[in-house]
Amino acid sequence: MSDNNIRIKIFPALNGDSILLELSNNLFLIDGGYINTFNEYLFDELKGKSEEGKRISHLIVTHIDSDHISGIIRLLEKNTNSEIINIENIWHNSYRHIKDLSDNLSLKDFDGKTDLTALSGKSYLKEVIEGRHEISAEQGSALSALILKGKYKWNSEFADKAVSIDNLDTITVDDKTRIRILSPNNQKLSKLKRLWNKELYKKGYDVSEDDSNYDDAFEFLMAQEKEKKVLVKKDISVGDIDIDELSNLEILEDTSVTNGSSISFVIETDNKKLLFLADAHPSVILESLKMHYSGEEFPIEFDIIKLSHHGSITNTSKELLEVIDSKNYVISSDGSKFGHPDIETIARIINRKSAFTRNLHFNYLPKFIHEINDENLKEKYLFEIYVAKEKSPIEIEL
Give every residue of the chain whose pLDDT is below 50, as ranges.
Answer: 1, 109, 135, 138, 233, 237-238
Measuring CA to CA, which residue among 134, 60, 38 is closest to residue 338?
Answer: 134
- Crossing angle for the helix pair 43-51 and 66-78, to the nearest 10 degrees: 50
pLDDT at 238: 43
| 230 φ/ψ angles, rounded to the nearest 5 degrees | -85, 115
Domain-embedded: residue 306: yes
Which domain, by its residues, includes 232? 6-397
Domain-embedded: residue 325: yes
Domain-embedded: residue 343: yes
DSSP secondary structure letters along 168-188? -SEEE-SSSEEEEEEE--HHH
Element containing residue 283 per DSSP (H, E): helix 282-292
pLDDT at 200: 77
Residue type, 115: D
Domain-embedded: residue 135: yes
Domain-embedded: residue 1: no
Measuring CA to CA, which residue among 251, 317, 250, 249 is closest to residue 281?
Answer: 317
**Contact assessment for residue 173 and residue 57, using Cβ atoms and an 8 Å cutoff:** yes
pLDDT at 1: 45
Domain-embedded: residue 350: yes
Number of structural domains, the chain?
1
pLDDT at 190: 96
Q: What's 77's domain CATH number?
A: 3.60.15.10
**8-state DSSP, 310:** G
| 46 φ/ψ angles, rounded to the nearest 5 degrees | -70, -35
Beta 328-331 vs 304-306: how paired, if at all?
parallel
pLDDT at 305: 98
pLDDT at 231: 55
Domain-embedded: residue 322: yes
pLDDT at 154: 98
pLDDT at 124: 62
Domain-embedded: residue 247: yes
Measuring CA to CA, which residue among 28, 57, 36, 44 is closest to residue 84?
Answer: 44
**Contact assessment for residue 142 and residue 242, using Cβ atoms and an 8 Å cutoff:** no
